[in-house]
Amino acid sequence: MIIFAIYESWDLLTIMFIYWCQSVIIGVFTFFKILDLKNFSTENVYVNNKITVANKATKIGIAFFFLFHYGFFHFGYFTFLVLNPFFKTNPENSLTSLTIIIVIIVFFVNHLYSFFYNREKNANKKQNIGKVMAFPYFRIIPMHLTIIFGSFFIIQGLPQFTLILFLVLKTFADISMHLIEHRDDLKERIEINLDKTSFKPGETVSGKINLYFYKPVKAKELKISFIGEKELEYHSRNSSRRSSIPFYIKELIIDKKKSYSNQSYTVDFTIPFNILEKAEMEDEAGYAFVGNKRYKLSKRMAALQKRSMEFAFSSGLAEIKKNNKWYISVSLKIPYKPDIDVDKEIEIN
């Protein structure tokens, strides 16, 4: 494309205007994509130096912040393209108005189709709202650097260098955005898609476990677990500590040793009627969590842990807060490689 553009002496201002229109279209669809998020995280997303909560108000606030911030950049670029004396249109080499309109319409229709096609696909996929918002800003780099350095080349009588600079940066931005957008397609991943996430004791948990692999993976087994954890927070005058102790674990082998590829499995099991009673029982499992890994303690260490908790509580040295957490865990055991694990939290009340 770069060689062809130089050979045909494409007009830089016209190409940058088309690129600007494409960036605006991407920004509009990103705005609606943020508003359409159902399951999202706010990890590493801060507002006024405070961690944000993943709720509707946060989603709407971030969407409109992006709309005005990204829009302000492009309003500035549009003003520059119209008023900058160095970027002039060459009528002999400019694309016709009809061609420009067709290119923009085709680009819009393509993104409209992509938006609705991926909408259902990503409905149950947990996305980071900060990454979704930041994604279109790659489009700013070519426009920004061309405006800064392109004028220098034009003053030096080298307008083709400006065209080359813009097209190289545009190609880099397009490739980077494509790789980021489709990087999940090149990863082995598992998704848990449940019909709902809030249950009562005795209800049935149903849904699908979807495996996405770009090539077959040999594994020992595929296992699903229903886990209840007791989250304990210890707060004293000098420190605070948190630990998680499982009090209920039900495991089921879904499939055995074989080569796994893109496929789906049905989730269908019943929550015990007495599950909330088990949550209130005194824990004697003797487990400890380090990161996402669960380790079983020796009897001696488990007893010591329990006595320490009882002493801290009875002596008034610490305040203990308890919270029950429930989740579905799916694990694919792969020989000589890290297992593929995924969790989905649910509510039981």
Report the pLDDT value the prediction gives residue 48, as an integer from 0 to 100: 73
Report the pLDDT value the prediction gives residue 10, as an integer from 0 to 100: 62
Report the pLDDT value the prediction gives residue 86, as an integer from 0 to 100: 54
> Which residues belong to CATH 2.60.40.640 in the chain?
189-348
Cβ count near 324 (within 10 Å): 18
221: region left, alpha or beta (phi > 0 left; psi from -120 to 50 alpha):
beta
- To the nearest whole number, what is the mean pLDDT of the chain? 76
Report the pLDDT value the prediction gives residue 89, as an integer from 0 to 100: 52
Cα angle 292-56-27, degrees, rounded to a multiple of 5: 95
Q: Which residues in the chain show pLDDT less than 50? A: 1-2, 4, 91-95, 282-285, 288-295, 317
Give domain 189-348's CATH number out of 1.10.287.950, 1.10.390.10, 3.40.50.970, 2.60.40.640.
2.60.40.640
Count Cβ neighbours within 10 Å for each residue of 104-129 and write b for 16 or more, e otherwise: beeebeeeeeeeeeeeeebebeeebb
Report the pLDDT value the prediction gives residue 280, as an integer from 0 to 100: 64
Report the pLDDT value the prediction gives residue 297, as an integer from 0 to 100: 52
Outline where DSSP puts E strands in the chain.
40-41, 46-47, 50-51, 127-128, 189-194, 198-199, 204-212, 217-219, 221-236, 240-255, 258-260, 263-270, 287-290, 293-296, 318-333, 340-348
Report the pLDDT value the prediction gives residue 242, as an integer from 0 to 100: 64
Report the pLDDT value the prediction gives residue 222, as an integer from 0 to 100: 92
